[in-house]
Structure 1
Amino acid sequence: MGTWDIGHFDNDTAADFGGTIDDTPADQRADVLAETLRRAAATDGFLDSHYGAQAIAAAALIAAQCPGGEPITTAYGPKKALPELPVALRPLAVEALDQVLSEDSELVELWGETSDLAPWREGVERLRQTLTAANA
């Protein structure tokens, strides 16, 4: 896993995902985010780190548009502005993050081998809280 920090786009997979979003026509970007989140949320069993990292990146993009959401300021995220995303993506993003944070997640396993598990988990849980609050 090419990871250099705990940020939502601070790994090769998420950075590549940001490029994919930029390469997708604006009217199809929400569909790419939805499919990414569905894949993670629907995982029955072990969630591969690749899909987990993409789900976190997708959730971060959605959370950035929520009240109190943190803007994406990293150079590794999409460079192009996203259109206003459907609010229906928010609960799907929460479901995907629940899978990412589960015991059956390779990301939890990999981060558990480092001293950064707690701050990484806190960052993902903040995303989840932002998305959950926006659905209330």
Structure 2
Amino acid sequence: MGTWGIGHFENDSAADFSGSLDDAAPGGRAGLIRAALLRAAEGEDYLESDEGAEAVVAAALVAAQCPGGTPVTTAYGPAEPIPALPVELRPLAVEALDRVLAEESELAELWGEGAESEAWRQGIRTLRAVLVPVPSVAG
């Protein structure tokens, strides 16, 4: 995997997935995002780096639409608008990110060897925190 930074979109697989989203019909983009999250979250085998990178991008796009989410403004992200995504993608995105950080993940393994490992992991944890709703306190 060609990687040029620790950002969610700063690798070949992420940029390719963003391109696939741009090539899809507007009504099909949410389905591609859901499929990427499902591949990561529901897989039982070793999570390959390409699938992990796609799941991170998909989760970042879901998180961008959450309260406190960061808009995707990188040139490597989708150029075409992402429609409003279903709220039920949020827990699926959390599951996918948990799998990306797990022991059976090639991305976690690859980043575990680098000097920027902790910064990459913190970026994933920050993304995850946006996706997990804060429980409201009844008063």
Query: Structure 2-normalised TM-score?
Result: 0.94
Give the whole-Å Cα distance in 2 for the aligned partners of 1:98 and 1:27.
Answer: 28
- Deviation of 1:133 after TM superposition, in Å, equals 2.3
The 3 A distance-change label for structure 1 pair 9 and 134 is farther
The equivalences for 1:1-136 within 5 A come to 1-133=1-133
Question: 1:102 & 1:122 partners in 2: Cα distance?
Answer: 14
RMSD: 1.2
2-side partners of 1:67 and 1:35: how far apart?
23
Q: Return 5+ residue gaps in structure 2 as ranges.
A: none
Which whole-Å CA distance do the structure 2 matches of 1:134 and 1:10 have between them? 29
Q: Give the number of aligned pairs.
A: 136
Higher alpha-carbon deviation: 35-44 or 125-134? 125-134
Instruction: Give 1:135 shift.
Output: 8.2
Gaps of 5+ in 1: none
Report which of the two structures shows the higher radius of gyration computed on alpha carbons: 2
Task: Work out the CA distance in 2 between the residues paired with 1:35 and 1:77.
Answer: 17
| Cα shift at 1:134 | 6.6
Letter in 1 for 2:130: T
TM-score, with length taken from structure 1: 0.96
Alignment check: 8 A CA contact 1:66 1:134 kept: no
Letter of the 2:100 partner, please give it. V
CA distance in 2, matches of 1:133, 1:3: 31
- Per-residue CA deviations over 1:25-63 (Å, capped at 9, x if unaligned) read 111111111111000001113110010000000000010
The runs of 4+ residues in structure 1 deviating greater than 4 Å are none
Residues 115 and 44 of structure 1: CA distance in aligned 2, closer, same or farther (over 3 Å):
same
